[in-house]
Amino acid sequence: MSAIHVTTKINGDVVDYVCEADETLLDVLRNRLGLTGAKEGCSTGDCGACSVTIDGRLTCSCLVLGVEAEGCEIDTIEGMADGEALHPLQRKFLEHAALQCGICTPGILVAAKALLDTNPEPTETEVRFGLAGNLCRCTGYDKIVRAVMDAAQEMRRA
């Protein structure tokens, strides 16, 4: 398979890249564009560590080919903070110590943001179901859920 030119928008910026036809979007982000926030965990769509949104829709970037992103708008963890100012979710994760090794954290933040974008007032059950596609082997999830609930509350007040 030969290299293909792709034009896309990542975190608001127009980005051009060339990739192989069978290369995943995750590999493109990490290896070609230096956006290493999305992590490779399982590479089968089970762990959610590679979560990004494509045209606003939460997806595993390991299950998307780089060439499929042509003309799409992609948002990654790198675009979450506003310069030096962390997103409320990011701040609350720090406050609640909702991470240990940190490998799952970018994916969980992206998934949590996607959840709060569509449901600003989720119940704890909705948070747990909303994050069911993100595995964390350190925290036992409770701190993550509390951080997301707390961030949601703060964002509603803002």
Footprint on this chain of other proteins (rule: CB under 8 A): 21-22, 24, 43-46, 48, 51, 54, 57-60, 62-65, 67-68, 111, 114-115, 129-130, 132-134
CB of 91 to other proteins, least distance (A): 23
Nearest residue (CB) to other proteins, 46 versus 95: 46
Nearest distance, CB of residue 84 and other proteins, angstroms: 29
How near is the Cβ of 22 to other proteins at its closest, in Å? 6
Residue among 95 and 121 whose Cβ is closer to other proteins:
121
State how far the alpha carbon of 86 is from the alpha carbons of 77, 80, 89, 125, 152, in Å. 11, 8, 8, 26, 15
Least Å distance, CB 56 to other proteins, is 9
DSSP 82-105: BTTBPPHHHHHHHHTT--SS-SSH
Closest contact distance (angstroms) between CB of 133 and other proteins is 2
Q: Is 131 helix (H, G, I), strand (E, B) or coil?
A: coil
Return the closest-CA partner of residue 116 out of 53, 41, 48. 53
**CA separation for the pair 37, 21 (Å, rounded):** 23
Using the minimum distance from each CB to other proteins, give the nearer residue, 83 or 109.
Answer: 109
Tokens for 113? 């943001």
Q: Decide whether 95 or 117 has the Cβ nearer to other proteins.
A: 117
Q: Which of residues 57 and 157 has its CB atom nearest to other proteins in the complex?
A: 57
Taking residue 44's Cβ as centre, other Cβ atoms within 10 Å add up to 9
- The DSSP call for residue 2 is -
